[in-house]
């Protein structure tokens, strides 16, 4: 059975004066996705999310959610969305329970004690329900914000940089909560981040932004061409190794250097041949290590100048 498109965006652009923040963006999010918006700060992630939430008006393009045009069915659509944009806006002198109850009523929900406690339990705050929010860590405030976004039982959850400013434990808590929302609550989640490792761990599909443009879109498995491996090369003389590689058949496999390290992309089956060529040219190899992660892929594609559409194997 084909999954339904929850979000469908076509040719979306946003200009602020002479700045093009989002440039001809098209993508779709299917029911059940954890859809990752990935890009450096200023790439266009937050602007795109704000257009989805009608906080910003697009310069051009079309947005459809749940099969409805956002322009003509705004109220019905937003009733099915829960969102946390930047830091949650909560009342620090009220308790977690009081905050959640207040926001539930504002959302049109008649909250029972059981409902409110269930929401707090899900985000790991049940034991702090009656504590004032001013005593909470930033990670706890973020989880309370997510509970507030969920209190009206929306189909789609949108989280903009939910781990910003959190310590490692706070980041892990948010990551685990997103996985619970997806796998146990069966929610569709859009999450933006500049933390590549976090998106890699949670996202079923990923869109990579750079300078307002979509570079690629697909599953992590699709974005990693498994036939190709990114290798870190270290030798006793990297200058000599680079000179040899630039004059050899491996020249087209060289990638931009990172932190002074030689980086090569090639088919796994060619690794022994590369090593043999280096040794034959009196270059002693200290390290020839695969680096197969989303971070390496991201650095690889954003190092280039050309912007492409949907990724294809």
Q: What pLDDT, on a 0 to 100 scale, did the predictor assign at position 164?
A: 86
Query: Tell me, what's the pLDDT at 125?
Result: 94
- Provide φ and ψ at 261, rounded to 5°: -95, 140
- Domain edges within the chain: 5-223, 228-291
Question: Are the CB atoms for 56 and 210 separated by under 8 Å?
Answer: no
> Which CATH superfamily hosts domain 5-223?
P-loop containing nucleotide triphosphate hydrolases (3.40.50.300)
> 5-223 and 228-291: same fold?
no
Residue 26's CB is within 10 A of a number of other CB atoms, namely: 16
Question: Does residue 214 sit in helix, strand or coil?
Answer: strand
- How far, CA to CA in Å, does 159 sit from each of 36, 105, 170? 10, 22, 15
pLDDT at 40: 82
Question: 10-residue block means of pLDDT along the chain (313 residues)?
Answer: 80 94 94 90 90 95 95 94 87 95 90 93 94 94 93 94 88 91 92 83 89 84 65 88 92 80 83 90 86 62 45 34
Q: How far apart are CA 225 and CA 237, in angstroms?
A: 30
Architecture of domain 228-291: 2-Layer Sandwich (3.30)
- Whole-number pLDDT of residue 226: 52
What DSSP character marks residue 299? H
- Residue 17 — left, alpha, or beta (φ > 0 → left; ψ -120 to 50 → alpha)? left
CA distances in angstroms from 50 to 14, 188, 205, 223, 292, listed in the order given: 11, 17, 20, 26, 33
CA atoms within 13 A on the CB side of 248: 18
**pLDDT at site 134:** 95
Rg (CA), the chain: 23
């Amino acid at each position: 059975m084909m999954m339904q498109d929850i979000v469908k965006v076509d040719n979306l652009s946003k200009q602020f004066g002479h700045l093009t923040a989002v440039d001809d963006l098209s993508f779709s999010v299917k029911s059940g996705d954890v859809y990752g918006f990935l890009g450096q700060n200023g790439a266009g992630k937050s602007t795109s999310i704000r257009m989805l939430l009608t906080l910003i008006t697009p310069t051009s393009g079309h947005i459809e959610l749940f099969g409805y045009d956002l322009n003509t069915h705004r109220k019905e659509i937003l009733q099915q969305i829960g969102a946390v944009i930047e830091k949650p806006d909560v009342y620090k002198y009220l308790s977690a329970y009081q905050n959640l109850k207040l926001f539930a009523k504002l959302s049109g929900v008649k909250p029972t004690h059981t409902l409110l406690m269930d929401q707090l339990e899900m985000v790991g705050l049940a034991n702090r329900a009656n504590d004032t929010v001013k005593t909470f860590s930033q990670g706890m405030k973020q989880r309370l914000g997510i509970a507030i976004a969920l209190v009206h039982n929306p189909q789609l959850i949108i989280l903009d940089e939910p781990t910003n400013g959190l310590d490692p434990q706070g980041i892990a808590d948010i990551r685990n909560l997103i996985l619970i929302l997806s796998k146990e609550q069966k929610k569709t989640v859009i999450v933006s981040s500049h933390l590549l490792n976090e998106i890699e761990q949670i996202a079923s599909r990923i869109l990579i932004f750079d300078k307002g443009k979509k570079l690629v879109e697909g599953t992590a498995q699709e974005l990693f061409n498994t036939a190709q491996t990114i290798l870190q090369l270290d030798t006793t003389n990297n200058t000599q190794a680079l000179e040899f590689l630039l004059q050899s058949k491996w020249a087209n496999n060289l990638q931009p250097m990172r932190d002074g390290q030689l980086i090569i992309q090639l088919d796994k089956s060619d690794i022994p041949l590369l090593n043999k060529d280096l040794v034959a040219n009196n270059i002693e190899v200290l390290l020839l290590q695969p680096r197969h992660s989303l971070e390496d892929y991201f650095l690889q594609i954003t190092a280039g100048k050309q912007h492409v559409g949907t990724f294809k194997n």
